[in-house]
Amino acid sequence: MTTMPDPDRRLYRPQAEVVFNQSLPGGHGWMRLAVGELAAKAQPGHFVHLQCAPSLTLPRPFSLLDADPDNGTVDLFYRIVGQGTAFMAAWRAGERTTLLMPAGRCFTTPPPGADILLIAGGAGMAPLHFLARRLGMPFTFLWGIETELPMALPFACQLASRAAFPDRFQGFVTELAARHLTRNTYLYACGPHPMLQAVSRLGHPGQLSLEERMACGFGGCAACVAPIRDPATTSGWQYRKICTDGPVFAIDEVAWEHYAHPH
């Protein structure tokens, strides 16, 4: 993996064309977009800020599920939750849109000799899938998913659900994660905030990819801030922008106790 430090912080606004857009179980979708040579700049943890419809002023952020520099494509895995994702779900091959990419700071490499544990919640699977594909070293991948399995992953993956499903651990994915911890565990996680808080309580180092509602996607509006620890400030923390300072942060950087809204 070649992600330390972020290789190139420049943002581009290419036209992209839908290669395919597949409907998946559980209200999910898998979309491949042709973005040309920009696919080579995509790293695990980067997101795209995607224009979902001319009628929607604000683009929507989506982590990259994968990127293929040889074919000039990037993949997204999305859950249909509102207007923007409903528009996306209706796109067919050949549809054109614009996006900002590669946005945000990507994951960095784990310490040597670490036992790598990836913990995904719902659509938070996307950036960890890309990371797993690029890691080039052994890892354990856990995915907490409450619906029918949206897609089979191209590597071994253990599933967790709170409801009873055959072949799944029943409970929170973080409870399953607790069974895999070793002295050398290094964590990567992405999912809903309560899951990420539980990941933080596992007491191991690692990195989280945070999600917040976004507006501009390039650091111009402060719509996307999260409380991040900063020993250089008198309070010990300050708001940082997810879109440019994140979405990836070290686990112990996130000041959950200072979030303005309850999680």
Ligand X SMILES: Cc1cc2nc3c(=O)[nH]c(=O)nc-3n(C[C@H](O)[C@H](O)[C@H](O)COP(=O)(O)OP(=O)(O)OC[C@H]3O[C@@H](n4cnc5c(N)ncnc54)[C@H](O)[C@@H]3O)c2cc1C
Q: Which residues bind ligand X (CB under 6 A)?
A: 47, 60-63, 77-79, 81-85, 123, 126, 211-214, 242, 247
Interacting positions 100-159 with ligand FES (CB under 6 A): none
Nearer to ligand X, 123 or 131 (CB): 123
Binding mask 228-257 vs ligand FES (x if CB under 6 A, - otherwise)?
A: -------------x-x--------------
Spatial CA neighbour of 225 closest among 188, 189, 260 = 260
Q: Is 221 in the site for ligand FES (CB under 6 A)?
A: yes
Q: By CB under 6 A, is residue 58 in contact with ligand FES?
A: no
In the list ligand FES, ligand X, none, the entry touching 126 (Cβ below 5 to 8 angstroms by class) is ligand X
Residue 217 interacts with ligand FES (CB under 6 A): yes or no: yes
> Which DSSP string do the residues of 82-143 spell out, in sequence order?
SHHHHHHHT--TT-EEEEEEEESBPP-PPPTT-EEEEEEEGGGHHHHHHHHHHH-S--EEEE
Element holding 222 (H helix, E strand): none
Nearer to ligand X, 50 or 114 (CB): 50
Is the separation of the CB atoms in 88 and 29 below 8 Å?
yes
Q: Does 220 bind ligand FES (CB under 6 A)?
A: yes
- What gap in Å lies between CA 75 and CA 208, rounded to an integer? 20
Question: Among residues 219, 239, 255, 258, which is the contact residue for ligand FES, using CB under 6 A?
Answer: 219
For CA atoms 18, 19, 23, 27, the dihedral sign is negative
Binding footprint of ligand FES on the chain (CB under 6 A): 214-217, 219-224, 241, 243
